[in-house]
Structure 1
Amino acid sequence: MPDAPDHPIAYTALRPGTPVQTSEGYRFATVQAVLVDEKVSVFDGVVVETSEGTRFVDADHIGSIYSTYVCTTLSAQQAAHLPLPDGSNLVDIKPTRSMADRLGRMFGRGKR
């Protein structure tokens, strides 16, 4: 049986540590945080950790989000010149591990 293909996921399911790649498939970073503009509840982009430090990938440059990686529309050259994150009106979204974890925390059972 062949390996299961990567499945597209919503940005809310994206986990820290997920690899991020250019449009050519070159891995250049890992996800550090997903950002949402809380004023309008819209996906704003992804903060990534690169070999040069923390950088920001705008939502306009996110091509596809899969269960095992994020594919950007950036070239390797563009990826090398990403800006620093600016989180003035942004909220860091840290997806929970599972619905059971979320419900457990809601009802006071998530304390470990």
Structure 2
Amino acid sequence: MQDPGPPIAYLALRGGTPVYDRAGNRVGTMEHVLADERSDIFHGLIIDAAPPLPRHAFADADQIAELHEQAVLLSVEGGELHALNERTGAGEASIEEGKLRARLEEAREWVGRHH
């Protein structure tokens, strides 16, 4: 991995920025920032993933270690990202799992509208 450049805020992140897992493997490129801009709350990133990952994956905010001008650095391995082509079950879930489920659904809807 080359120099990731200076740290940036999620609002300055550009589509096409390379995304690397915690081992330094490139897992794809950032396609879309998922956030509530009114409340300035960052939810995560939709990633155009490289094989063997599914075409689109979601990195929840807690799976992201650092945002830089030239790279996104994850705090997890690529295989721990959330696949956007898979639906989660409708069973009982904690509040945190419910929030993640809502973010995943929002990410899936975005991918559906743009691909």
TM-score, normalization by structure 1:
0.66
Give 2:22's aligned residue: 23
Give 1:36's aligned residue: 35
Moved over 4 A (4+): none
TM-score, normalization by structure 2:
0.64
> What is the aligned-residue RMSD (CA, Å)?
2.6
Aligned length: 86
Shift of 1:6: 1.4
Structure 2: runs of 5+ lacking an equivalent:
85-103, 111-115
Structure 1: runs of 5+ lacking an equivalent:
92-112
Query: Which of these residues, 63, 77, 91, is aligned with residue 75 of structure 1?
Result: 77
Shift of 1:38: 5.3
Q: Distance in 1 between matches of 2:78 and 2:4?
A: 25
Give 1:87's aligned residue: 106
Structure 1 residues 76, 48: closer, same or farther in 2, change over 3 A? Answer: closer
Give 1:63's aligned residue: 65
Structure 1 residues 53, 19: closer, same or farther in 2, change over 3 A? Answer: same
**Partner of 1:86: helix, strand, or coil?**
helix
**Partner of 2:105: helix, strand, or coil?**
coil
Structure with greater Cα Rg: 1
